[in-house]
């Protein structure tokens, strides 16, 4: 019995470490968001892009810790430290860190969609609202404490439950849906269209754009593979599927973009 207990403890510890490594990889993706945006915007806006991504991350951490995570999962960490070091809470804290990295992608996605068109502080405040309230509400319906309610609706309508393994809807689609009205309201960047004609704005720094793309692509494996939450056989399949998706996106962009470096490096992200 003691041996079984030890093995169970080791497996739990390995799963926590697995999730922590995934959290660190997804955390690193925010550097990718920063460099990708810096390489894409004009030089006069590069510093603003860097500061904005880091500020969004910091604000997102606070609001998700205090408001967002309790809304999504019904778990609050506003309690004495002695209550947080037991086995279950230890896992919950790592799980929070992992899911925070997902939540903080929302303002980063929106930032890329409206780059060079929004003022700094209004965008930071809007990002805080999305991460603290809007995103956790959807998260609770698909992954969190209210998931059974939505699953019952899907089963009654289509006869099957809805599953989102690694945030294709919860993170990426919701981020895009929130960004879409902002893009429509703010319109194109100044100089992008003149008298009805398109004038593409060239990227300002291809090496930074490429660096951001590579960091995001590597971090995406933490995003996808570690979403299982534990070491299982499915991890290898998810890793290879993600790799093939990335390669497919690169090759498709290479053909469609006629060797344009911006297309190629964004193609990797589109595939993932």
Higher-confidence residue of 8 and 179: namely 179
**pLDDT at residue 195, rounded to an integer:** 76
Residue 163 has pLDDT above 80, yes or no: yes
Q: What is the mean pLDDT of the chain?
A: 88
End-to-end CA distance of the chain: 44
Tokens found for residue 259: 């060797």
Give the integer Cα–Cα distance in Å for 267 and 247. 9
Q: How confident is the model at residue 3 (pLDDT cuts 50, 70, 90)?
A: very low
Q: How confident is the model at residue 6 (pLDDT cuts 50, 70, 90)?
A: very low
How far is C-alpha 180 from the chain's CA centre?
A: 17
Tell me the pLDDT tens digit for each residue of 104-123.
999 999 999 898 889 999 99
Which residues neighbour 190 within 8 Å (Cβ) at sequence distance 6 or greater? 116
Contact predicate 238/252, CB 8 Å: no
DSSP secondary structure code for residue 84 in this structure = G
* DSSP-derived 3-state class of residue 194: strand
**pLDDT at residue 23, rounded to an integer:** 94
For the chain, give the percent of residues with pLDDT over 90: 59
Angle subtended at Cα 218 by Cα 18 and Cα 95, rounded to the nearest 5 degrees: 30
Tell me the pLDDT tens digit for each residue of 195-209.
777 777 888 899 999
Give the integer Cα–Cα distance in Å for 69 and 76. 7
The residue extents of the domains of the chain are 16-207
**pLDDT at residue 81, rounded to an integer:** 77
Residue 59 has pLDDT above 50, yes or no: yes
Q: Which class for 56: exposed (0-12), middle (13-18), buried (19 or more C-beta within 10 A)?
A: buried
Highest mean pLDDT among 40-44, 53-57, 146-150, 190-194: 53-57
Burial 32-52 (b: 16+ CB within 10 A, else e): bbbbbbbbbbbeebbebbeeb
**pLDDT at residue 88, rounded to an integer:** 62
The CATH code for residues 16-207 is 1.10.3430.10
Tokens found for residue 225: 């593979």
**pLDDT at residue 134, rounded to an integer:** 94
Residue 189 has pLDDT above 90, yes or no: no
Mean pLDDT of all residues in 157-177: 89
Tell me the pLDDT tens digit for each residue of 68-92.
999 999 998 888 877 777 666 578 8
Is the four-CA dihedral 94, 139, 59, 34 of positive or negative sign?
Answer: positive
């Amino acid at each position: 019995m003691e041996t079984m207990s030890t093995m169970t403890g080791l497996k739990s510890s390995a799963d926590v470490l697995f999730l922590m490594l995934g959290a660190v990889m997804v955390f690193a993706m925010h550097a990718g968001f920063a460099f990708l945006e810096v390489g894409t915007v004009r030089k006069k806006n590069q510093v603003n892009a860097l500061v904005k991504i880091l500020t969004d991350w910091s604000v997102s951490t606070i609001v998700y810790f205090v408001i967002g995570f309790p809304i999504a999962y019904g778990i609050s960490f506003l309690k004495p430290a002695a209550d947080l070091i037991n086995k279950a809470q230890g896992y919950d804290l790592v799980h929070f860190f992992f899911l925070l990295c997902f939540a903080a992608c929302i303002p980063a996605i929106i930032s890329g969609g409206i780059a060079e068109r929004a003022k700094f502080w209004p965008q930071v405040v809007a990002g805080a609202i999305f991460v603290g309230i809007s995103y956790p509400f959807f998260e609770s319906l698909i992954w969190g404490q209210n998931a059974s309610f939505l699953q019952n609706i899907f089963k009654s309508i289509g006869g099957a439950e809805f599953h989102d393994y690694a945030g294709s809807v919860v993170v990426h689609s919701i981020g895009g849906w929130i960004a879409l009205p902002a893009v429509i309201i703010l319109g194109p960047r100044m100089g992008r269209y003149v008298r009805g004609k398109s004038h593409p704005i060239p990227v300002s720094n291809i090496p930074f754009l490429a660096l951001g793309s590579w960091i995001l692509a590597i971090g995406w494996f933490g995003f996808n593979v570690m979403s299982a939450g534990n070491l299982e056989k499915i991890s290898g399949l998810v890793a290879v599927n993600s790799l093939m998706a990335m390669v497919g996106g690169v090759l498709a962009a290479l053909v469609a973009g006629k060797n344009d470096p911006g297309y190629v490096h964004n193609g990797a992200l589109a595939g993932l």
